[in-house]
Amino acid sequence: MPRDGGPARLRLQQAALDLYAERGFDQVTTAEIAARAGVTERTFYRHFADKREVLFDGEKPLRDALAAGVADAPEGLAPLPTVLWTLRTVVVPVLEGNRAFSEPRHRVIAATPALRERDQAKQAVLTEALATALRDRGASESTASLAANVGMAAFGHATIAWLDHPDRSLDELIREAFEDLHTLTVPLAAVDDLV
Amino acid sequence: MPRDGGPARLRLQQAALDLYAERGFDQVTTAEIAARAGVTERTFYRHFADKREVLFDGEKPLRDALAAGVADAPEGLAPLPTVLWTLRTVVVPVLEGNRAFSEPRHRVIAATPALRERDQAKQAVLTEALATALRDRGASESTASLAANVGMAAFGHATIAWLDHPDRSLDELIREAFEDLHTLTVPLAAVDDLV
């Protein structure tokens, strides 16, 4: 999502997103993105490695913000609640505050296999950052990894629901996803008698 | 994992895995895989699109097996328990029965970014297949998606733990991951007072 960087960088991101939404990712060239943003193609490549990366600018800042959020979470909070707390206080405000960009961005990614692959790689990086930060707070290796993986899965679920429900807030949907997560796990013990 | 197909196909898969484990995925050519398997490079390409796909042969059969497993799960079983039941009865026996191949395969994937991306895409396909099958059993769109996403996250966690604990069975680790999942969700309600 657009955040830091000069106006050229932000204009390039918006131009890319608009063009991908209009014509599909595969039909758009970096020259066209640059032209729409009013800069040269050379400027495009000064800011982004390729036309995929233009939509994944926020990975490192987001990774750092997640790690800082986990470190700052209230003392004594258990691992999965720490993930929920971090998502609600660090990630949700950014996405909610920039819905005009983040919503079409999610739609373009969902519709484009090459971008979905990149997004999955990003989720994996963020999951690993969360797990590391949870270990640094004292969670065991196994608990940290499970809480990070499952928390990110619930978060991914909530962001997709957000696209389908423009009337609802992401914060509400994330709370709901984690509540549902608890409800879903209650009848698990029954499986032992069936396998 | 090697399953159907003639001996040339199985030999190619084993040769590729051995070479990737010995020298690293990036250092191996399809010509070398073919030579190690005692076939021509042309035969390699008759069986696989490229040197990445040689390790992802089982995607379609596994997707179909997951869908069939969900459909066959005991009547009345709730969505997440259905996922656990399906993993334990359909997927675990295949992976456990073929640990000599599946374990080094997981290791090579974990060590190779290009293979990790492919593996993440495969997980996404399997998650979608699970969600569709859960909907066909009557789960709501939202519950089906959350149960599939979270169930696959717990499964991924268990398969990684399996690599690190050669003395433990995958079935045991999957049961443990889902049990831990329930434990992790218990203190979630505390977050509402903190955000």
Give per-residue pLDDT as tens, A108-157. 998 998 898 889 889 989 999 999 999 999 999 999 999 999 999 999 99
User: Residues A49, A62: one domain?
Assistant: no
Task: Name residues 126-165 of chain A within 8 A of B (Cβ).
Answer: 142-143, 145-147, 149-150, 152-154, 156-157, 160-161
- Chain-chain contact of B154 with A146 (C-beta, under 8 angstroms): yes
User: Residues A73, A153: one domain?
Assistant: yes
Structure tokens at B45: 């390409």
Q: Does the structure show a pLDDT above 90 at A11?
A: yes
What's the CATH code of the domain at B132? 1.10.357.10
- Chain-chain contact of A194 with B85 (C-beta, under 8 angstroms): yes
What's the CATH code of the domain at B15? 1.10.10.60
Q: What is the pLDDT of residue B5?
A: 55
- DSSP 8-state symbol, A91: I
User: Residues A42, A78: one domain?
Assistant: no
Give per-residue pLDDT as tens, B137-164. 999 999 999 999 999 999 999 998 988 8
Average pLDDT of the segment spanning A95-111: 89
Q: Encode burial over B29-41: b for 16+ CB neighbours within 10 A, e otherwise.
A: ebebbbebbebee
User: Residues B87, B153: one domain?
Assistant: yes
B125 in any annotated domain? yes
Number of domains in chain A: 2
A193 in any annotated domain? no
Q: Does the structure show a pLDDT above 80 at A45?
A: yes
Q: Does the structure show a pLDDT above 80 at B90?
A: yes
Residues of A within 8 A of B182 (CB-CB) are 182, 185-186, 188
- Chain-chain contact of B188 with A177 (C-beta, under 8 angstroms): no
Q: Does the structure show a pLDDT above 70 at B1?
A: no
User: Residues B182, B93: one domain?
Assistant: yes
B2 in any annotated domain? no
| Full 3-state SS string of B88-125 | HHHHHHHHHHCHHHHHHHHHHHHCCHHHHHHHHHHHHH
Closest CA to B174 of B161, B183, B185: B161
Q: Count how many pairs of residues, chain A against chain B, have C-beta atoms within 8 Å.
A: 143
- Chain-chain contact of B180 with A79 (C-beta, under 8 angstroms): no
Q: pLDDT band at A164, cuts 50/70/90?
A: confident
Give per-residue pLDDT as tens, B8-61. 999 999 999 999 999 999 999 999 999 999 999 999 999 999 999 999 988 888
CA atoms within 13 A on the CB side of A28: 24
User: Residues A48, A68: one domain?
Assistant: no
Which among B184, B192, B194 is the top mutation candidate for probing chain A, defined by the most A β-carbons within 10 Å of its own β-carbon? B184
Residue A39 falls in which region: left (phi positive, over 0), alpha (psi -120 to 50) or beta:
beta
Q: Which residue segment(s) compose the domain that A21 sits in?
A: 7-53
User: Residues B65, B16: one domain?
Assistant: no
CA distance B139 to A170: 23
CA distance B171 to B169: 5
User: Residues A108, A84: one domain?
Assistant: yes
Q: Indicate the residue type of A131.
A: A
CA distance B103 to A116: 27
Q: Does the structure show a pLDDT above 70 at B3?
A: no
- Chain-chain contact of B153 with A157 (C-beta, under 8 angstroms): no
Q: pLDDT band at A5, cuts 50/70/90?
A: low
Q: Residue B178: which of A80, A142, A188 has the nearest Cβ?
A: A188
Average per-residue pLDDT in chain A? 91
Where is mean pLDDT largest: A4-8, A191-195, B117-121? B117-121
A136 in any annotated domain? yes
State the sign of the Cα–Cα–Cα–Cα dihedral A156, A161, A164, A167: negative
Residues of A within 8 A of B153 (CB-CB) are 146, 149-150, 152-153
Average pLDDT of the segment spanning A95-116: 89
Cβ A53 vs Cβ A109: under 8 Å: no
Average per-residue pLDDT in chain B? 91
User: Residues B24, B101: one domain?
Assistant: no
B166 in any annotated domain? yes
Estimate the crossing angle of helix A99-111 against helix A113-136, to 10 degrees.
Answer: 120
Q: What is the pLDDT of residue A2?
A: 44
